[in-house]
Amino acid sequence: MSGKRATRLTPDQRREQLVEIGREMLAGRSLDALSTDEVARRAGISRGLLFHYFDSKHDFYRAVVRAECDRLTAATEPDAALGPVEWLRAFIAGFVGYVLEHREVYRALVRGAAGSHPVVADIVGETRRTLAGRVCEGRRRLGLPDVPRLELASGAWMAFAEEAVANWPAADADAREEICAFVEAGFVGLLGLLDRPAALTPR
């Protein structure tokens, strides 16, 4: 531990501080490489004290992943009062904006967390299901009926959107608008196929 004197915080404040440090550190490493020793050092406390607030390293990992997934969920929740098209576009813009602003953290969560530590796979999976559920809701708000394979198609669109946004060149000033338009077109094209089964040519 460094010679830095620990700031006196309430238990809830200290736990929140440690989780926030863990979230910040995810921007430069995988969850597997997230060192509780370094987290404690940055907080100015001993590693032993860190485990006063968390039962284990995995418990700490779960708290960090849960906090980040909660942020993603909140960022992609549109105002319920919006009209159908505006609601869908707000969802897409929220997702694109979150990933662009937290790209490295998102990659650590989606690409690395579940595989590196199965102990957090349920949290990541739950978050993905929440987002896929909003895709289904977007269709319903547009007046489209529920159809077979809607859940599967929504999950497929989420995988497409994740890949596109996580890797799209983001240096251009209009990159965000381009990405939003691209993944929206993917929504229309991919989920629209559910309503046009005849468009598939018989083998």
Domain spans, the chain: 11-59, 66-191
Please enumerate in sequence order all residues whose Cβ is within 8 A of that of 170, keeping only pairs 6 or more positions apart, or say none. Answer: 100, 103, 176, 179
Tens digit of each residue's pLDDT (9 = 90 or more) over 148-163: 888 888 888 988 998 9
pLDDT per residue as tens, the chain (203 positions): 444 555 688 989 999 999 999 999 988 788 888 899 999 999 999 999 999 999 999 999 999 999 999 999 999 999 999 999 999 999 999 999 999 999 888 887 776 555 556 788 899 889 989 999 999 999 899 888 888 888 888 888 988 998 999 889 988 889 999 999 999 999 888 877 776 544 444 44
Helices (H), 30-174: 36-43, 47-53, 57-75, 84-101, 103-107, 114-116, 121-141, 150-167
Whole-structure pTM value: 0.83
Mean pLDDT of the chain: 86
Please tell me the predicted confidence (pLDDT) of residue 2. Answer: 45
User: What is the model's pLDDT at position 37?
Assistant: 95
CATH code for residues 11-59? 1.10.10.60
| CATH no., domain 66-191 | 1.10.357
